[in-house]
Amino acid sequence: MPRGTLLAGAAVVVVAGVAAAVLLAGGGGKGLAPESQSGQVRALAPGMVVIPAGKRAILPAVAGQTLDGGRLDLAGLRGQVVVLNFWASWCGPCRGEAAGLQEASRELAAKGARVVGVDINDQRTPALAFQREFAVSYPSLFDPSLSLTARLGGQGPSYPPTTLVIDQQGRIAARIVGALNGGKGTPQVQAAMLGDLVEQIKGGVA
């Protein structure tokens, strides 16, 4: 499979009946779009959708080897909010959010939430170099053949970067298509944006 071409032939991903690949124009910031009707998927700026609790799908079992040779099973993180970021070393937009994700990982760890990466369609050596360059401290599952990603079916990413936010019950609560805040702003701005979303999901507000 050529790099950058993921899940060829897949239909546009739809989350709870709404196209997940909603990319909203405009700048970032912490403001979330108001919900027009109760129980509907809400679009957040930029590139985010949040799914109401009653319509959330359970994340399929995801476990495997990490980039550093360890092993990680997401089932062991049940009870915590988990930010699951799909990335690749060859992915340009992934570079635009790497420092923001690392900052978010540091801040969220103190609040009982976790960031986990999934390195997809990649090679281990450049992926490890990417992690060193951005001083990434959170773990990443290594998925060079997309076998782990395929388990997610229609909930999986069409391309990196894509981020899923998993609630305490192991359900997909939100989706971010593209880099955090469109790859714009400082790492602190990106981390704050993601942190606001995680806090809402953790508190049962989203």
Inside any domain, residue 51: yes
- What confidence category does residue 115 fall into, taking pLDDT thresholds of 50, 70 and 90? very high
Inside any domain, residue 30: no
Q: Could you give the CA distance from residue 76 to residue 113 in angstroms, rounded to a whole number? A: 13
- Which of 201, 204, 166, 195 has its CA nearest to residue 29? 195
Inside any domain, residue 5: no
Predicted local distance difference test score (pLDDT) of residue 39: 56
Inside any domain, residue 174: yes
Inside any domain, residue 7: no
Predicted local distance difference test score (pLDDT) of residue 148: 94
Domains of the chain: total: 1
| CATH assignment at residue 127 | 3.40.30.10
- What confidence category does residue 16 fall into, taking pLDDT thresholds of 50, 70 and 90? very low
Tell me the pLDDT tens digit for each residue of 101-114. 999 999 999 999 99
Query: Mean pLDDT throughout 132-154?
Result: 96
- The residues that bridge with 177 in the sheet, in sequence order, are 162
Inside any domain, residue 142: yes
pTM over 0.75: yes
Predicted local distance difference test score (pLDDT) of residue 142: 98
DSSP string covering 113-174, please?
A: EEEEEEEES--HHHHHHHHHHTT--S-EEEETTSHHHHTTGGGS-SSSSEEEEE-TTSBEEE
| % of the chain residues with pLDDT over 90 | 72
> First and final CA of the chain: distance in angstroms?
37
Give yes or no for residue 66 having a pLDDT over 60. yes
Paired tokens of 118: 């999934």
Tell me the pLDDT tens digit for each residue of 43-61. 555 688 999 999 999 999 9
Q: Identify the domain containing residue 93 by its residue range.
A: 14-24+40-202
